[in-house]
Chain A
Amino acid sequence: MNAGRPASTHLKWWWLAGALGLLIAAVVAAALVGPFPLSPGSVVRSGLDRLPFIDLGTGLSDREEAILWQIRMPRIMLGVLVGSMLSVAGSAYQGVFRNPLADPYLLGAGAGAGLGATLAIAYGPETTNWIVDPLPLAAFVGAIVGVLLAYLLGYSVRSGRTAVTLILAGVAVAAFLTAAQTFIQQRQSDTLREVYGWILGSLATAGWGEVRLVLPYVVVSIVVVLAGRRLMDVLAVGDVEASTLGIEPGKVRMVLVAFATLGTAAVVAVSGLIGFVGIIVPHTVRLLTGASYRIIVPLSILLGGAFLVLADVIARTVQSPAEVPIGVVTAFVGAPFFAVVLRTSRGVVS
C-alpha cells in the first residue's frame, strides 16, 4: 500500500532549494551592482562575517563597508520584504476569491493608500524636521480604510455576502477613492510630480528604518497566509461545498484578507504602489507547479523577493544616476517573462 502523498502533489525540496538559491543569488548580485564596484569575494565574505560565530575579516575598506551595509543592503532587504509580501498577498487574494485576476490592491488597498499619500503630500504640513514622516502612516491608514469600506459595503448587500459581492464592492470603493485621489492631485499641481512618483513606487531608503518598520507586519502576515494555505485549497470547491467539508468560507476569507491587507498596507506605505508583482509571481509558480496553495504560497514568498530585488537592480542602474520607477520595471520586464511562461507551460491558468 502507498505510504505518503503521490509524488507529483508534493512541495518538492528542490523547488524550495532552487527558489531559495535564486533569492540568495539575487541578493548577492544586487549587492555587487552599483556606481561603486565591490568585489564579489569580499561582499560574500563580509556577509558571512556578520553571521554569528564566524569571524573572517572582510577585506573591505570602511567606506566600502558603509556602501554595502548602510546603502545597498537596506534597500535590498526592503526589496525582499516588499516583493515577498506583495506576492504572498496576491496568492492569498487569488485563493480566497477563486479569481486568477485578483491582486493585493483588489479591494481598495491600493486606491486607499494612494489617496492617503496624496492627501499627506498635497495638504500635509512641512515635515522635513519631523521625527516621524506622516506620509507612510497616511498611506497605511488609507489602505486599511479602503479595504474596510469594501468589506462594509460588501456585507451590507442584502442578496448575499458572497465573494463576488465583495469584489464588486471593492471595485466600487477603489474607483471612488481613485477619483478622489486624482481630483486632489490635479488641484495641487505643484505636488503632482511627487504624488506621481510615489504612486509608481520606489525602494529608495534612508537606511534600515523602513526595513525595521515593515518587518513585523510582513512576518505576521506571511505566517498567517502560510498557515491558511491548505484552507485556500478547500475554498477552491466553492463556498457551499467548502462549508459542508468543515470550514467557514466567510471567516477564512476575512482572516486571510485582513492579514494580507495588513502586510500590503505596511509595504505600500514605504514603497508606493508597485504593481504586477502580486499577480505575476503567484501565477508563474502556478503555471510551473500546479494549482495547490500548499505549494504556491511558500514558493511565492521566495520568488517574489528575488523578482523585486532584481527588478530594483534594473530600476536603479539603467538610467543611473537617475532612477526608473520600479513599477515600470516590474511590468516592462515581468510582462514578457510572464508571456513566455504562459506560452510554454502545460500548467493551469485558473
Chain B
Amino acid sequence: MSVVEFENVTVDYGATVAVADVTLRVESGEWVGVLGPNGAGKSSLLRTVVAGPLTQGEVRVDDEVIHEAAVRRRARLAAYVPQRPVFPKGMSVFDYVLLGRTSHMGPLAAESATDIRIVWDSLASLDLVDFAERDVSSLSGGETQRVSMARVIAQRAPVLVLDEATAALDVARQHQVLELIDEVRRDNEITVVSAMHDLTAAAQFCDTVGVMDKGRLRGVGAPNDVLTEDLLREVFEPTVRVIDVDGSRVIVSMRDKERR
C-alpha cells in the first residue's frame, strides 16, 4: 500500500493551463475519485502520477519523486489504464497481461517462470484462464475491462491510476466494472486514483472525491461532504440536483419544469 502526494502540481500546455496548483494527498489503500466537467484537467492530473507532463510542483509515491525516478522504477510504483487502452490486433490475452511484467524483467531479458506464474495467477483471479489464447482485440467491452485489470494486477504496482475506465459502458456493466476495481483494490491492497464522470457512482465507490474545475481543485473530502448542490451547480450547471438515497448521494441533472 502506498501514499500518493500531489504538491502544487501545475500542468501548463502553453495555450492552456490544464492543472493549476493542485495539492492533494491520497492515503494508502484509499480510492480517490477525481471529478469535474470535460476539460477540467482530470486526465492531466492523473497522468502526472505516471510521469506525464508536469510544469511545476511534485508528485510523490511513498516519498519517491515520480519525475525523478527511472522509468522501470516508476512502472513498479504506479500502473495506468488510459481512457481508451490499445488492444493490439493479433496479440494473445496472455501476452497482453504479460506486458504488465515488463518493469520486472531486465531490459533485454525474457520472461521468467515467476513472470509466467504471476500472469496465470492474474488471469485466474479474474476468471480469464480460458481466454489466455484469445486475440485481445476480439474481446467484448466487459472482457477487455477484465483483461486490463489482469494486466494491472500482474504489474504489481501499489498504485493504480484509472482514467475513466467505465466511460463507454452501460449502467449495469459500469457497476460491475467498478465492483471489480474495488475487489482488485482490496485483494491486492492497491491505492486507486481514478477520474470519473458518473458522480453518483463516485459517491458510492470512492472513499474521497476531489472536484476539479478549470484546472483547480474546488473541493476535497468524503463524498457526502463534497458533493453538495452548491458546489456542483457552480462547477457543472445550475440544473444539478442532489438526492439522498439510503444514505448515499444521487446526483442528477433535472430539466427545467417549464420546458418539460
**A interface residues (Cβ-Cβ under 8 A, vs B):** 1-9, 227-228, 230-231, 233-234, 236-238, 240-241, 243-248, 286, 290-292, 347-350
Contact = CB atoms under 8 A, between A and B. Distances in A.
B80 interface: yes
Interface of B: 50-51, 71-72, 74-76, 78-80, 82, 85-92, 94-95, 99-100, 102-103, 105, 107-108, 110-111, 113, 116-117, 120, 124, 129, 132-133, 135, 155
B110 A286 contact: no
Contacts of B108: 227-228, 230-231
B91 A292 contact: yes
A286 B133 CA distance: 16
Given A9-B92, A230-B108, 12 more contacts: A2-B120, A5-B116, A6-B94, A230-B110, A233-B95, A237-B87, A237-B88, A244-B79, A246-B72, A247-B107, A291-B90, A348-B90
A6 B133 contact: yes
A244 B91 CA distance: 19
B75 A244 contact: yes
Contacts of B113: 3
B86 A246 contact: no
What DSSP secondary structure best describes chain A's contact surface? Answer: loop
Contacts of B80: 241, 244
Contact of A231 (B71, B75, B103, B107): B107
A3 B92 CA distance: 17
B88 A243 contact: no
12 contacts: A1-B120, A6-B92, A6-B132, A231-B108, A233-B95, A241-B80, A241-B85, A244-B50, A245-B100, A248-B71, A290-B90, A292-B91
Contacts of A233: 91, 95, 99
Given A230-B110, A244-B50, A246-B103, A4 B116 contact: yes
B117 to A, nearest CB: 8
A191 B78 CA distance: 61
B72 A238 contact: no
Contact of B89 (A1, A3, A228, A348): A348
A157 to B, nearest CB: 15
B107 A243 contact: no
Contacts of A3: 113, 116
Contacts of B94: 5-6, 9
A9 B95 contact: yes
B79 A234 contact: no
Contacts, number: 94
Contact of B133 (A8, A240, A243): A8
A347 B92 CA distance: 12
Contacts of B129: 2
A190 B74 CA distance: 61
A9 B155 CA distance: 20
Contact of A241 (B74, B82, B91, B124): B82
Given A6-B132, A291-B90, A292-B91, A246 B85 contact: no
Contacts of A349: 89
Contacts of A227: 108
A290 B89 CA distance: 9
Nearest to B87: A237
Nearest to A4: B116
A339 B194 CA distance: 47
A4 B94 CA distance: 11
A238 B129 CA distance: 25
A245 B102 contact: yes
A2 B85 CA distance: 27
A245 B85 contact: no
B88 A236 contact: yes
Contacts of B111: 230
B82 to A, nearest CB: 6
B159 to A, nearest CB: 11
A297 B102 CA distance: 19
Nearest to B47: A240
Nearest to B93: A6
Contact of B95 (A1, A238, A292, A350): A292
B92 A350 contact: no
A172 B51 CA distance: 32
B241 to A, nearest CB: 37
Contacts of A6: 92, 94, 132-133
Nearest to B157: A244
Contact of B90 (A7, A241, A246, A286): A286
A6 B119 CA distance: 11
A247 B92 contact: no
B111 to A, nearest CB: 8
A245 B107 contact: no
Contact of A243 (B71, B91, B105, B120): B71
A209 to B, nearest CB: 33
A292 B102 CA distance: 15
A92 to B, nearest CB: 14
